[in-house]
């Protein structure tokens, strides 16, 4: 008999159907993966099981639980008024956002204790809270910490301890590791796996990442735009997917053989970075001497025209700080940059204008990197103020060319950023970087926020652009598989230092530095 | 925490010093000679000069500023020319009315504003919310002198429940003093309560959308439990800031309300001293008002650090 069962579940917001006739079944102790891209309805499925759907949702279908006894709920009755005793008790849930999912004003121990007080009052003791923390591999003194004092991975573990406190028979984890870096992600996934086994707890694991699902689950449901595409045992789905959509997802998740992302090398490097150092000064008191924190420690490397150089490392290793200095966005404390005959160094604003227009940046977040009150047209024209010599027609040509190159059309340009999808926005960000026809493009996690199926398209686009215009790329990513696919050479950073560098195959096949080995070990592939 | 306290206290002292300097030198450049004002238009030059010397007005401004500062420390602020009484005594006397009035209004507006704001947020989008926010809008729009007069007409003149104005010192008749302050406190508090209710509502509605409220509900809390246990404290942070800022407006409001109710408070003292060009009284009274505001801001900062652990972390090693 199944522990939880959804029958013909349909969720509508107004006339938009976001989940259509979904059937889903979770057996006791089973590990079920729910896979899909953004907007596929996977989070709504979880919220339905928790009776936490937004009030304006119109729901139909049936939900069955068999925890202490068998119950059947008409989904139309879901809502605040329904007597729903399972939330937090028989069903625990972990959410995606480690930064915001915990109350910032409350000690972690109290937040865990709250669940105990609600569902297991006899267990609401210091000892039991510490035991829960120990179960998620956190030391007992974390009990008295506030969320801001913890790292992302630690917060996610606290969230897990909270979900476990009610001793649930079913744990729902909604993208619990998507916001974490690779190494931390691996730790949390291994932890969830171990706890689910030890507690004989059923798991509904929601993710866009097939690798993570493959590592955890024995059954997979694939959702696309609110509809169930395919479901079955993990092995079967991953090895012989039946539906075109699943095949695409599986293909996108497998490390693909490298396309020819290689070009001719010039004798003199386009970019030469010498001993570039970035320090932040932290001062506790007005009268204290600030103690410097080194984010980037004497980085030295070169990059040739038309080349793609990968930059990888765990979060906080200094990748982004380094790239921002090269782009002239942040001042350096020491060192200098030679770029295309220009030299600039450790003074803010010392970057010559002529160099500025030869370097463009594409950022990770396609939502945050556009001004929401600026029409796309204006956003794309804006960089052209660096080229005052262009006439109005030439500007128009530049923008038209850029927009067509990224596969969009100019009649969309009157819209505001919110009217575009994530993938479209990232294309527009690339177009914005392109209008100047730069010699170097810095790509800071350009595909990390995108769904896997779109990722391939954007990478292919970057590849085409490089073929046509011969730009050099500095490609920053935490995703080693992507880096391997697109780069020639790679550098590995840790604690502000470049600890390893070389041909991408050499580095990944024969890693020398400890951190490289760790990063490679943390990968979750559907082959492994 | 101790370090944070010291840092904030230094800030308070510095603010007061800057405020004192501003008040002193601004009043100093104003036209008008206190000595001439005291002696009248027909006074002879000799007696004027003598009085100026006696008052220390012949000395350079910076010395007089220093003397005033020492006076502030020792409580000797000189004599008021218009009231013929020591200024320190005058101010202390008036404070027994103005302090209860301002703090009473602060407390009353909090007691009314916050619960209404929370109620409105909990019923967001429903008739209760719309009605309350409509009332709040009216409350904000009404000028408090007009509202004060309305209160007098209804409760003092028509119903005769409370006195229409005037004040009996606490020492003489505490209950009469209390009754005299009820209407002024309400007149002062209600518009502030309306602002607080709106701010509280907006803040709580914002917080209610945050992820940790969803987490709280996932624990098994109901919507209103989650809001009360996790939302209200988080929502209070921006409200605290507004409350601190509002206090300055409360102080300014006392000047108006004290005039409407004919209360001998600090506001009226300042007001009459300005009309009488009694600049010695004006500058000291002003500084006391500034001091009150600065102290409240300081208390708000402390409260902030108590409520929000993230601030404490930044402020203490």
Pick from A163-177, B180-194, B263-277: least confident? B263-277
Amino acid A285: pLDDT = 58
pLDDT at B25 over 70: yes
CA dihedral sign of residues B97, B102, B107, B111: positive
DSSP A183-211: HHHHHHHHHHHHHHHHHT-EEEEEES-HH
pLDDT tens-digit readout, A493-508: 999 999 999 998 899 9
Distance from CA of A99 to the nearest CA of B (A): 9
**Which residues between 281 and 310 in chain B have a beta carbon less than 8 angstroms from any beta carbon of chain A?**
307-310
Pick from A50-54, A209-213, A350-354, B255-259: least confident? A350-354
Terminal C-alpha separation, chain A: 32
H/E stretch holding A108 reads: helix A108-119
CA-nearest residue of chain A to B317?
A284
Rounded Cα gap, residues A479 and A314, in angstroms: 10
Residue A222: strand pairing partners = A35, A230
H/E stretch holding A20 reads: strand A16-26
Q: Name chain A contacts of B207, Cβ cutoff 8 Å.
A: none
Of the residues B218, B222, B235, the best mutation for testing chain A's interface (the one with the most A CB atoms within 10 Å of its CB) is B218
Rounded Cα gap, residues A316 and B183, in angstroms: 59
Residue A75 is classified by DSSP as: G
Question: Taking Cα atoms as reference points, which of A319, A338, A366 lies closest to residue A493?
Answer: A319
For the CA atoms of chain B, what is the radius of gyration? 24
**Tokens, residue A466:** 């490089």
pLDDT-above-70 percentage for chain A:
95
- Tell me the average pLDDT of chain A: 87
pLDDT at A97 over 90: no
What's CA A214's distance to the chain center, in Å? 18
pLDDT tens-digit readout, A249-288: 888 777 665 554 555 556 688 999 999 998 877 665 556 6
**B309·A148 Cβ contact <8 A:** yes
Domains of chain B: 2-86 (no CATH), 88-315 (1.10.3720.10)
Of the residues B205, B213, B215, the best mutation for testing chain A's interface (the one with the most A CB atoms within 10 Å of its CB) is B215
pLDDT tens-digit readout, B216-249: 999 999 988 999 999 999 999 889 988 888 888 8
Q: Does residue B223 contact residue A80 with C-beta atoms inside 8 Å?
A: yes
Distance from CA of A445 to the nearest CA of B (A): 25
Interface check for B3 against chain A (CB to CB < 8 A): the answer is yes
Length of chain A as a residue count: 528
Q: Which of B216, B229, B313 is opposite residue A148, by nearest beta carbon?
A: B313
Q: Please give the backbone phi and psi of residue A281, each rounded to the nearest 5 degrees, phi first.
A: -100, 130
pLDDT tens-digit readout, A126-135: 999 999 999 9
Band (pLDDT 50/70/90 cuts) for residue B314 is very low
Q: Which of B3, B7, B313 is opposite residue A149, by nearest beta carbon?
A: B313
**A87·B223 Cβ contact <8 A:** no
Amino acid B226: pLDDT = 92
Max CA pair span of chain B: 86
Q: Does residue A80 contact residue A70 with C-beta atoms inside 8 Å?
A: no
Q: Which of A52, A100, A285 is opposite residue B211, by nearest beta carbon?
A: A100
Q: In sequence order, which residues have a C-beta less than 8 Å from that of residue B226 and are 6 or more positions away? A: B213, B216, B217
Amino acid B315: pLDDT = 39
**B215·A50 Cβ contact <8 A:** no
**A104·B212 Cβ contact <8 A:** yes
Q: In sequence order, which residues have a C-beta less than 8 Å from that of residue A388 and are 6 or more positions away? A: none
**Domain ranges within chain A, ordered by starting residue:** 4-90+168-253, 103-162
Interface of A with B (CB under 8 A): 50, 52, 80, 85, 87-89, 92-93, 95, 97, 100-106, 114-115, 118-119, 146, 148-149, 159, 162-163, 166, 284-286
Q: Name chain B contacts of A114, Cβ cutoff 8 Å.
A: 216, 219, 221, 229
pLDDT tens-digit readout, A388-406: 888 889 999 889 988 888 8
Rounded Cα gap, residues A96 and B150, in angstroms: 55
Q: Which residue has the tokens 């008021």?
A: B80
pLDDT at B149 over 60: yes
Q: Which of A95, A119, A146 is opposite residue B215, by nearest beta carbon?
A: A95
Amino acid A311: pLDDT = 94
Q: Which of B218, B223, B309 is opposite residue A105, by nearest beta carbon?
A: B309
Q: Name chain A contacts of B6, Cβ cutoff 8 Å.
A: none
Distance from CA of A355 to the nearest CA of B (A): 39
Residue A57: strand pairing partners = A13
Rounded Cα gap, residues B155 and B27, in angstroms: 40
**Tokens, residue B171:** 């020492």
Span B148-175, mean pLDDT?
85
pLDDT at A333 over 90: no
CA-nearest residue of chain B to A107?
B309
Q: Name chain A contacts of B219, Cβ cutoff 8 Å.
A: 87-88, 114-115, 118, 162, 166
**Tokens, residue B80:** 């008021």
Amino acid A401: pLDDT = 87
Rounded Cα gap, residues B309 and A296, in angstroms: 30
Question: Taking Cα atoms as reference points, which of B36, B37, B20 lies closest to residue B274?
Answer: B37
Size of interface A-B (CB pairs under 8 A): 75
Q: Which residue has the tokens 């039946």?
A: A242
Count CB-CB contacts under 10 A for residue A270: 20
Distance from CA of A285 to the nearest CA of B (A): 8
Count CB-CB contacts under 10 A for residue A365: 15
pLDDT at A93 over 90: yes
Q: Does residue B239 contact residue B203 with C-beta atoms inside 8 Å?
A: yes
Residue B128 is classified by DSSP as: H
pLDDT at A23 over 90: yes
CATH architecture type of domain A4-90+168-253 = 3-Layer(aba) Sandwich (3.40)
Residue A497: strand pairing partners = A494
pLDDT at A173 over 70: yes
**Tokens, residue A414:** 């009157």
Interface check for B125 against chain A (CB to CB < 8 A): the answer is no
Kindly provide the b/e burial profile for residues A109-125, where b requires at least 16 CB atoms within 10 angstroms of the residue's own CB: bebbbbbbebbeeebbe
pLDDT at A145 over 50: yes
pLDDT at B180 over 60: yes
**Tokens, residue A368:** 């945050």
**Which residues between 224 and 263 in chain B have a beta carbon less than 8 angstroms from any beta carbon of chain A?**
229-230, 233-234
Span A480-504, mean pLDDT?
90
- Tell me the average pLDDT of chain B: 86
CA-nearest residue of chain B to A148?
B310
Rounded Cα gap, residues A161 and A133, in angstroms: 6
Span A20-34, mean pLDDT?
94
pLDDT-above-90 percentage for chain B:
30
**A101·B234 Cβ contact <8 A:** no
Rounded Cα gap, residues A188 and A177, in angstroms: 7
Count CB-CB contacts under 10 A for residue A518: 15
Q: Does residue A255 contact residue A262 with C-beta atoms inside 8 Å?
A: no
Distance from CA of A84 to the nearest CA of B (A): 9
pLDDT tens-digit readout, A78-87: 888 888 899 9
H/E stretch holding A277 reads: strand A271-282
What's CA B73's distance to the chain center, in Å? 22
Question: Taking Cα atoms as reference points, which of A51, A52, A3 lies closest to residue A24?
Answer: A3
pLDDT tens-digit readout, A421-465: 878 888 899 889 888 889 999 999 888 777 777 778 788 888 888
Of the residues A103, A160, A288, the best mutation for testing chain B's interface (the one with the most B CB atoms within 10 Å of its CB) is A103
Amino acid B317: pLDDT = 32
Q: Which of A100, A119, A159 is opposite residue B210, by nearest beta carbon?
A: A100
Question: Taking Cα atoms as reference points, which of A427, A422, A446, A438 lies closest to residue A363?
Answer: A446
Q: Name chain A contacts of B310, Cβ cutoff 8 Å.
A: 104, 146, 148
Of the residues B207, B216, B219, B232, the best mutation for testing chain A's interface (the one with the most A CB atoms within 10 Å of its CB) is B219
**B214·A95 Cβ contact <8 A:** yes
Distance from CA of B289 to the nearest CA of A (A): 29
Q: Name the 3-class secondary structure at A22.
A: strand
Interface check for B212 against chain A (CB to CB < 8 A): the answer is yes
């Amino acid at each position: 008999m199944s522990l939880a069962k959804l029958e013909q579940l349909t969720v509508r917001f107004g006339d938009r159907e976001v989940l259509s006739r979904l059937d889903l079944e979770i057996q006791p102790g089973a590990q079920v993966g729910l896979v899909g891209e953004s907007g596929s309805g996977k989070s709504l499925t979880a919220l339905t099981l928790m009776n936490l759907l937004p009030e304006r949702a119109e729901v139909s279908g049936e939900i069955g639980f068999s925890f202490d006894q068998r119950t059947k709920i008409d989904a139309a009755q879901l809502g605040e008024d329904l007597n729903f005793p399972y939330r937090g008790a028989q069903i625990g849930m972990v959410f995606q956002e480690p930064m915001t999912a915990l109350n910032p004003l409350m000690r972690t121990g109290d937040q865990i204790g709250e669940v105990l007080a609600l569902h297991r009052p006899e267990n609401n003791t210091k000892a039991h809270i510490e035991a829960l923390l120990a179960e998620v591999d956190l030391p007992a003194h974390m009990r008295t910490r506030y969320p801001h004092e913890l790292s992302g991975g630690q917060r996610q573990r606290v969230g897990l301890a909270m979900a476990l406190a009610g001793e649930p028979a079913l744990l729902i984890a909604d993208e619990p590791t998507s916001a974490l870096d690779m190494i931390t992600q691996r730790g949390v996934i291994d932890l969830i796996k171990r706890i689910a086994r030890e507690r004989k707890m059923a798991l509904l694991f929601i993710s866009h990442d097939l690798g993570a699902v493959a590592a955890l689950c024995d059954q997979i449901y694939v959702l696309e735009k609110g509809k169930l595409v395919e479901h079955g045992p993990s092995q079967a789905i991953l090895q012989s997917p039946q539906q075109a959509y699943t095949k695409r997802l599986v293909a996108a998740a497998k490390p693909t053989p490298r396309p020819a992302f290689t070009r001719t090398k010039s004798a003199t490097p386009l970019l030469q970075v010498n001993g570039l150092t970035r320090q932040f000064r932290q001062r506790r008191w007005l009268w204290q001497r600030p103690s410097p924190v080194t984010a980037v420690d004497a980085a030295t490397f070169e990059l040739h025209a038309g080349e793609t150089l990968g930059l990888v490392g765990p979060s906080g290793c200094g990748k982004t700080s380094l790239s921002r200095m090269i782009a002239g966005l942040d001042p350096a404390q020491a060192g200098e940059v030679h770029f295309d005959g220009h030299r600039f160094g450790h003074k803010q604003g010392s970057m010559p204008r002529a160099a500025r227009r030869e370097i463009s940046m594409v950022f990770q977040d396609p939502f945050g990197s556009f001004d929401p009150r600026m029409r796309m047209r204006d956003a794309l024209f804006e960089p052209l103020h660096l080229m005052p010599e262009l006439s109005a027609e030439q500007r128009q040509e530049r923008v038209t060319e850029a927009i067509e190159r990224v596969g969009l059309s100019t009649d969309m340009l009157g819209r505001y950023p919110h009217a575009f999808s994530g993938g479209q926005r990232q294309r527009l960000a690339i177009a914005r970087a392109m209008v100047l026809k730069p010699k170097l493009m810095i790509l800071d996690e350009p595909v990390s926020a995108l769904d896997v199926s779109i990722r391939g398209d954007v990478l292919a686009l970057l590849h085409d652009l490089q073929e046509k215009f011969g730009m050099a790329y500095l490609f920053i990513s935490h995703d080693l598989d992507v880096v391997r696919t697109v780069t020639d050479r790679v550098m590995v950073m840790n604690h502000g230092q470049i600890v390893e560098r070389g041909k991408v195959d050499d580095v990944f096949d024969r890693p020398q530095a400890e951190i490289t080995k760790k990063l490679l070990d943390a990968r979750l592939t559907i082959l492994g | 925490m101790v370090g944070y306290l010291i840092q904030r206290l230094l800030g308070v002292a510095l603010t007061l010093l800057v405020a004192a300097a501003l008040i002193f030198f601004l009043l100093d450049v104003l036209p008008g000679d206190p000595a001439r004002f005291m002696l009248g238009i027909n006074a002879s030059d000799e007696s004027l000069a003598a009085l100026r010397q006696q008052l220390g007005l012949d000395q350079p401004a910076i010395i007089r500023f220093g003397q005033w500062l020492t006076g502030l420390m020792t409580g000797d602020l000189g004599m008021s020319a218009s009231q013929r009484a020591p200024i320190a005594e005058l101010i202390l006397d008036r404070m027994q009315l103005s302090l209860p009035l301002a703090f009473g209004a602060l407390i009353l507006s909090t007691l009314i504003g916050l619960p209404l704001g929370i109620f409105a947020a909990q019923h967001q989008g429903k008739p209760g919310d719309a009605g309350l926010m409509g009332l709040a809008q009216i409350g904000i729009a009404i000028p408090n002198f007009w509202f004060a007069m309305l209160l007098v007409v209804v409760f003092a003149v028509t119903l005769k429940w409370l006195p229409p104005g005037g004040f009996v010192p606490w020492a003489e008749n505490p209950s009469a003093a209390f009754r005299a302050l009820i209407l002024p406190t309400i007149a002062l508090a209600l518009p502030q309560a309306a602002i607080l209710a709106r701010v509280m509502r907006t803040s709580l509605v914002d917080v209610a959308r945050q992820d940790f409220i969803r987490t709280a509900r996932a624990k098994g809390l109901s919507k209103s439990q989650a809001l009360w246990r996790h939302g209200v404290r988080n929502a209070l942070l921006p409200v605290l800031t507004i409350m601190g800022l509002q206090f300055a407006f409360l102080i300014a409001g006392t000047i108006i309300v004290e005039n409407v109710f004919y209360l001998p408070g600090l506001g009226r003292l300042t007001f009459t001293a300005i009309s009488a060009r009694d600049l010695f009284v004006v500058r000291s009274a002003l500084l006391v008002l500034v001091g009150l505001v600065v102290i409240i801001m300081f208390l708000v900062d402390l409260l902030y650090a108590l409520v929000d652990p993230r601030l404490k972390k930044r402020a203490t090693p």
